[in-house]
Amino acid sequence: MRKMIVGERKPLAEIAEMLEPFRKVCVLGCGTCVTVCLAGGEKEASETAAALTLLAQKEGKDLEISTHTLLRQCEYEYIDDYAEKLAEADVILSLACGVGVQTMATRLQDKIILPGLNTQFMGYPLQQGVWAENCLGCGDCVLDLTLGICPITRCSKSMLNGPCGGSQDGKCEVSKDVDCAWHMIYERLVKMGMESRMETIQPPKDWSTSHHGGPRTIVREDVRLENRE
């Protein structure tokens, strides 16, 4: 899996603070996206548990820590398989993304689930140790217009009609570390002989298909189970 939800573990002090009222803690890794981005898999769950144990010892706190890793915290069937093993803990520190944390909290109504990560974005590994955001999930993909470079995500101003006046030497005004998406789009269109596309005035975007339209649900009647409750 190359595409993924990318996260970063919260600072240990913040985690320790949210765990303050609890004694039996389960640090729960997630085996999919956050494993690949080295933020919340089995290895990170063990490391986090070890660091918390050390901190508790230092502060003289009685903390009982267990660790487990679920293949996917964002699917009920995987959670259900594991529910028994989680029964002991007062609290579960989930190292899944926000989706996993919430799915867990929905499925395990009697448990307290706390987030151990800051979920960052949908992206891909640019190189070893570097991840880049490249999709905002706006619900109305425009990658056909730009030949595979998303201006909504990768232009700091989500512009749809070309680069702003802050683009210089291929870089965004926001940071020399950020490539100007429209500079890249322009060069790609030129390469493909399709730069005349940039002459079309793209109308205001329909943001109602994105989160701005409210929380989204997809219903696929064709794959729903008939006797679903």
Partner 1 sequence: MKTESRLEKVLNAGHFAVTGELGPPKSSDIETLKHHAEAMRNHVESYNITDNQTAIVRTSSIGVAASLIQMGLEPNVQMTVRDRNRICLQSDLLGAVSFGVKNFLCLQGDHAKFGNQPQSKNVNDLDSMQLLKTFKDMRDEGIFIGGEKMDHPLPSIFLGAVANPFADPFEYRPLRLAKKIAAGAQFIQTQCIFDIDRFERWMAKVRELGLHKKCYIMGGVTPIKSIGAARYMQKNVSGMIVPEELITRIKGAEDKKKEGIKIAVETIQRLREIEGVAGVHVMAIAWEEVVPEIVESAGLYPRPTV
Residues that bind partner 1 (CB under 8 A): 156-170, 173-174, 180, 183, 186-187, 198-199, 201-205, 207
Question: Residue 108 is encoded by which pair of tokens?
Answer: 């395990």
Q: Is 220 exposed, middle or buried (0-12, 13-18, 19+ CB in 10 A)?
A: exposed
Nearer to partner 1, 71 or 135 (CB): 135
Q: How far apart are alpha carbons 39 and 45 in whole angstroms?
A: 9
Q: How far apart are alpha carbons 149 and 145 in whole angstroms?
A: 9
Strand order, beta sheet including 112-115: 64-70, 24-30, 91-94, 112-115
Nearer to partner 1, 38 or 159 (CB): 159
**In sequence order, what are the beta bridge partners of 28?**
68, 94
| Minimum gap (Å) between residue 151 Cβ and partner 1 | 9
| Minimum gap (Å) between residue 60 Cβ and partner 1 | 37
Nearer to partner 1, 51 or 136 (CB): 136
Nearer to partner 1, 98 or 162 (CB): 162
β 64-70/175-179 pair status: unpaired
| Minimum gap (Å) between residue 9 Cβ and partner 1 | 22
| Minimum gap (Å) between residue 130 Cβ and partner 1 | 21
Nearer to partner 1, 1 or 201 (CB): 201
| Minimum gap (Å) between residue 204 Cβ and partner 1 | 5
CB 185 within 8 A of CB 149: yes
What values do phi and psi take at 52, rounded to 5?
-70, -40
